[in-house]
Structure 1
């Protein structure tokens, strides 16, 4: 049973996505070569600064265009949603075939439209969830950089191309180091996401109630109000799980932002100019763009960068980088959402806890 028509999602997304910036073939080739080279350079800077060791050999970054990003994310979604798909397949007899067929096509179009919107904005990401490799030889994750979006951003911001590309690579390589250097982190996030999905109300009356709530949320946001679709369609149990997921992702994203700015001054000469212009760009956009970002919860992601970075900065200032790295010792050492807002509470809790092995095997 298909919850989402994935082929239709890809077809819709690739049809709706806007084309990238107009560049010559040579400029495109040079951008791809630069990003591959700078991602490897950034990886060394990040490992040295974060002091997170990993036995995983670094892999070259995968450079994609906008349709390539859409296809990659559909592959990832299929892996993430597998537990829910299996659960719904087990209840196949309870759902009329026509409802399943129509529903999967509707959601396929919706997912494709969302991906088309995001595909022109995402600069890069570390893909945590890839389809299984039958040989077992492929890495578990993959660093992906979206070349047209990086080129488009540097042109819009009027910043130094080499500096901007390295700055972006510093952030994304931090995520690769996090997930290859902290063995339990990927599985922790995956288990929380699985728990979140399986806490869904998948009986028809409950689903209709949540869809009505989502429609009310859309109308409210269009009028300028608060709220997002993610909040509107959650069960109470899911809200608790999402709090944990939000806390860990705020930490991960904030750590990436902190590292890119801490390392930046020594290797990115124009980092201050880039940061100021990029922050302004994050806050900007048309009213329609801002409305869609709010509906999809992307404004929450923007807050995660700021709040997570402030948490990391405060802890490093008070406890040093080794003191901060105790956060990677175990899931129990992760900060709660409240502790991210009040870093001194996390420091007090961890200082009072028994010493645990760190991410690199050292004690904190």
Structure 2
């Protein structure tokens, strides 16, 4: 159920990625004419984007399902009417590994999911974050020369082992992503990263504000879960990178500092002004200087 729901909720992003990669996979004009192998490669690369993305999507969702605790381990908006998703087996396995109280951990995860659902269902937050994620996906640029180099030796008559080698190559994350982030994605990244930092900072502040009174071992559970989210392996980083997310300790600390800086200057009501108006979403510079954000939103319009 979790995997099916995730594929449904992420489908618009996956479709944009597929279109973007298909457009980017164009072979150069200097391939030899009249060469059957070159002709086969030309036809193959036209189908490459959807094929690679299909493999990548299945691998990505499968990896998330094995590790995720809920529906918002990644800060990506889901359908507005999506149910709260909690993977109890993963939650309990994590809790047992850290010797955490099961009931406390389950309640923490449920509160965390509700907080994300509430924030991402604010219309202007949902629209802005979805727009940035979609623009990042649409700006994907694959490296056709690199793909040709890796697959150029493929012989379709070589038998099952050659086909298996080709499938392994197509499922290689670096082949899917290409060597570098595109210039358009570089331009989008600061806005996307800043918005995610501000929203996760707010959610962490909410959790800290209510958690102690509701969860007996809140401090212990929080320490374990916040350590977990920054100790990502290579597969986690691949998933984040393909979606345009930067979820390292620096960005979480950045969000925490923003929320804390606003509350220190303007109280909880000041921080909640994030959700009053689309113009109240902070710029990258304002996330790093919450006083500037407060000064701007207080300017007469």
Could you state the TM-score of these two structures normalised by the residue count of structure 2?
Answer: 0.70
Partner of residue 5, structure 2: 72
Mapped contact 2:140–2:182 kept (Cα < 8 A): yes
Partner of residue 272, structure 1: 219
Deviation at 1:271, TM superposition (A): 0.7
Task: Choose 1 or 2 for highest CA Rg.
Answer: 2
Q: Which residue of 1 aligns with 2:88?
A: 147
Can you give the 5+ residue segments of structure 1 that lack an aligned partner in the other structure? 1-67, 131-138, 210-228, 355-364
The reply on whether 1:193 has 2:133 as its aligned counterpart is yes
Deviation at residue 291 of structure 1 after TM alignment = 4.0
Deviations 1:23-82 (A, max 9, x none): xxxxxxxxxxxxxxxxxxxxxxxxxxxxxxxxxxxxxxxxxxxxx333322223322233
**Alpha carbons 1:257, 1:305 under 8 Å: kept:** no
Contact 1:255 / 1:312 at 8 angstroms: preserved in 2?
yes
2:289 to 335, 342, 356: 342
* Pair 1:90–1:82, CA change in 2 (3 A): same
Question: How many residues are matched?
Answer: 255
CA deviation after TM superposition for structure 1 residue 207, in Å: 8.1
Map residues 220-299 of structure 1 onto 2, 5 A cutoff: 233-282=180-229, 290-297=233-240
> 2:267 corresponds to which residue?
320
Distance 2:177 2:296 in 1: 31
Structure 2 unaligned spans of 5+: 28-40, 150-175
Contact 2:262 2:271 in 1 (8 A): yes
| Shift of residue 342, structure 1, vs aligned partner | 2.3
Counterpart of 1:21 in structure 2 is none
Distance 1:276 1:88, change over 3 A: closer
TM-fit CA distance, 1:90? 8.7
Structure 1 residue 99 and structure 2 residue 39: aligned? no
Specify the alignment match of 1:124 in structure 2: 70
CA distance in 1, matches of 2:9, 2:108: 26
Normalising by structure 1, what TM-score? 0.59
Structure 1 residue 248 displacement after superposition: 1.2
Shift of 1:145: 1.5
Q: Quick one: distance in 2 between partners of 1:295 and 1:90?
A: 22
Q: Does the 8 A contact of 2:193 with 2:246 survive in 1? A: no
Cα separation, 2, equivalents of 1:274 and 1:90? 45
1:257 to partner: Cα distance: 1.6
**What is the rounded CA distance, in whole Å, between the counterparts of 1:263 and 1:150 in structure 2?**
21
Aligned to 2:38: none
Two-structure CA RMSD over aligned residues (Å): 3.5
Does the Cα contact within 8 Å between 1:70 and 1:115 map onto a contact in 2? yes
Query: Matches of 1:319 and 1:124 in 2, distance apart?
Result: 32
Residues 201 and 207, structure 1, Cα contact 8 Å, conserved in 2: no
Specify whether residues 305 and 88 from structure 1 end up closer, same or farther in structure 2 by C-alpha distance, changes over 3 A only.
closer
Return the offset for 1:174: 0.9
* Mapped partners of 1:232, 1:331: distance in 2: 35
Q: CA–CA distance in 1 between the matches of 2:126 and 2:200?
A: 14
- The whole-number CA distance in structure 1 between the counterparts of 2:277 and 2:230 is 34
Please give the alpha-carbon distance, in whole angstroms, between the structure 1 residues aligned to 2:177 and 2:203. 24
